[in-house]
Amino acid sequence: MSDITFFSIVVPVFNEEDNLPVLYDEIHRAAVAAGKEWEVIFVDDGSKDRSLEVIKELAQKSSHVRFVALDKNSGQSAAFSAGFDAANGEVIITMDADLQNDPGDIPNMLREFERGFDMVIGWRAKRKDTFAKRIASKVGNSIRNWLSQETVRDTGCSLKVMRSSMAKQIPMFTGMHRFLPTLMKCQGATVSEVKVNHRPRLHGTSKYGIWDRARTTFFDLLAIRWMKKRYICYGIKEKN
């Protein structure tokens, strides 16, 4: 068992000004329901709209809100990395800013984590995306698991709970966020999966094209497979 006292929620943001106030309200309700100390770190990834201004307004209103503003658009992996570095909690929770992840799932995921796991992954059992995206995700997930020798049901779900000390040790590179379970397991992490809610996007547009993502992910997978074979992981029996 592993009781949590403080958790950090890391949210990469790129052009999500309309979603942020609603997202914060939902995160606040979920955090109160969880009954722990908490913070949310919004990482603005060079937004072109008013996202950073909205984040600053939220930070002025709530001591729970912190933010990191990147100097240019650097990608979701860079945003997660910056958020991990800034996080103070013993647990890090990741999620998207587009409201498709439901913060209401956080209390249940934390309870699962406290059963003794190092990572809990959200599994979107009922996707609310377009038919094309659902098919692309299903095919991509199968290929990703095959090449990375994984069995994760939904590697693309951003809603994850991780032990902070391990998350901060993850090697950082572009595309890293798509392989967090594998990279955690390289450190010996125990991983659980739970069903989570998934919602349609209300504001803004998706930041990814299906084929662009597929092409870049394929090369990332080759790198991950190489890393798994070469990753150094050991335990110390005795020392003096």
Q: What is the pLDDT of residues 87-140, one digit of tens each?
A: 999 999 999 999 999 999 999 999 999 999 999 999 888 765 555 555 555 555
Most confident of 35-44, 203-212, 227-236: 35-44
What pLDDT is attached to residue 200? Answer: 81
Cβ atoms within 10 Å of 158's Cβ, excluding its own: 22
pTM greater than the 0.95 cutoff: no
pLDDT of residue 197: 92
What is the DSSP secondary-structure string of 66-124? Answer: EEEE-SS---HHHHHHHHHHH--SSEEEE--SSS-B-GGGHHHHHHHHTTT-SEEEEEE
pLDDT, residue 41, reads 98
Task: Look at 59 and 3; give whichever has higher pLDDT.
Answer: 59
Check if the beta carbon of residue 8 is closer than 8 Å to that of residue 87. yes
| Domain made up of 6-230: CATH architecture | Alpha-Beta Complex (3.90)
User: What residue spans define the domains of the chain?
Assistant: 6-230
Please report which confidence band the pLDDT of residue 192 belongs to, taking 50, 70 and 90 as the band edges.
very high
